[in-house]
Chains A and B, each alone.
Chain A
């Protein structure tokens, strides 16, 4: 049996997960979430928060699993992509653990981890992956050894777009209340489609023009906020689903796997359901608990990596803030 301890610290969550290579796989899952008092994530504040919480989180994960460090086979850590100061906390701790306890250190790409834990939880086999979060908006599929990107945002990510919009119109923070994003909440009362730009360029989406136009419309007071929210939501979600449909037509895949923090929206899910049904495809949406950042996904992907001999010397385990999904070899694809 192989047991891996994984550390996540790419953005707002310091997570420690412990997994093993047989059911039920997940043996510990500890998360510490940094919540900014106002505005968005301040990288330095988040890093300080992580430093404060990290030792306790690791001890708690070991205690919850009733395992000692001796029985852990390797330490996995998310080295990117993410915010530099945050990444460095996790990397430093992982390097120290690996060196002190003489364990192999396994590098994990955060995006790959979202996908792989999604596949573990939903049982999707060979999906077209839609990765939607605060910092990422992309559509990818595993083809000859790598996740190839078929479409992505040309400017800002869907989550970032939604957060910025609700913040600028005074609806946030908090961005999410009872699991529902403020944009979805505000859009529930709207029903009119206003004249805002719907931008799909080939396989790619773009949200910056929509953001500017929607905020201008709000500031000029020319329309009800509810209707603006509704239009913004409809345009943003429809554009995502449209490029996903193009990705399906292009790759010939017949499963869609939605991963990442924004996957939780029920309105987005409805749209994906309608699209996949009309194309006779299966839809898998990672449940919110594992769609958001967590340590389990790092540990699980670390396990896959470790079994294929992917390790890194602690002195060479640099963080990589812009480590793209399509730069990572996926040896377990065949």
Chain B
């Protein structure tokens, strides 16, 4: 995938790959590790899409870049650990940010004691709660978007973040994170779930905790997460009966 994208970048942005090493190419943006004013930096650039009208393309890419940069700055002011922004160029749909050297939480989790893992996850819970409290949802909270560095957990990739106070959006945020935990730490998932919720409750209080738990439960009962839905249907059946399975 990165090979394909790497060639794509060269063809669209001649010279961009000379900025440094292309370390990741997603469907939307490429990450290049290089230098900026002597600091190791990540160049995150949203790639133009050949299928979009050029004006629309620029509009979409620059507005997403702007939102991302604004939200990163904002949550930083709330005390959430995010990379420092060094430069934003809307015409290029480019954000240059501090390079956080460390380990992805995803890779780290499997090598830690349950105790330490819990501590880190609790911290993630608090950071997420700080964002939610201020009306920011991250939109893609997974353990691959968290970096452990110098005793801190940094949250990265605000590409899908937005301002939202809706319980639905916050519920999806937390739900996604818990699912990403489950996929790595299946046997510890209940413990880690509680650690996260503890951290979340520490910042937002017990009422917000109950609300979000109820919402997550509701989200899990929807179509795509089949196992829990079957459980629900069984209960439902015993109550009223239904001709649909």
Contacts and interface: CB of A to CB of B under 8 A. Distances in A.
Interface string A250-270: 101000000000000000001
Contacts of B1: 249, 252
A234 B243 contact: no
Interface string A214-251: 00000000000000000100110110011001101110
B160 interface: yes
Interface string B131-164: 0000000011000000000000000000010000
Contact of B51 (A235, A252, A271, A318): A271
Given A238-B49, A249-B1, A278-B8, A202 B139 contact: yes
A4 to B, nearest CB: 24
B223 interface: yes
Contact of B56 (A149, A193, A274): A193
B53 A320 contact: no
**Residue among B51, B60, B223 facing the most chain A CB atoms (10 A cut-off):** B51
B50 A320 contact: no
B239 interface: no
B51 A274 contact: yes
Interface residues of B, number: 23
B27 A280 contact: no
B114 interface: no
A248 B28 CA distance: 12
B111 interface: no
* Contact size range, A: 20 to 34
B238 interface: no
A202 B26 CA distance: 13
Contacts of A275: 49-51
A264 B221 CA distance: 36
A198 interface: yes
A149 B222 CA distance: 13
A272 B50 CA distance: 10
Nearest to A249: B27
A219 to B, nearest CB: 23
Contact of A193 (B55, B139, B140): B55
Given A198-B59, A235-B56, 16 more contacts: A193-B55, A201-B160, A202-B139, A234-B53, A238-B49, A238-B52, A238-B53, A238-B56, A245-B49, A246-B28, A249-B26, A270-B51, A275-B50, A280-B4, A318-B244, A327-B226
Interface of A: 149, 193, 198, 201-202, 231, 234-235, 237-238, 241-242, 245-246, 248-250, 252, 270-272, 274-275, 278-280, 318, 320, 322, 324, 326-327
6 contacts: A193-B56, A193-B59, A198-B60, A241-B51, A248-B27, A275-B50
Interface of B: 1, 4, 8, 26-28, 49-53, 55-56, 59-60, 139-140, 160, 223-224, 226, 243-244
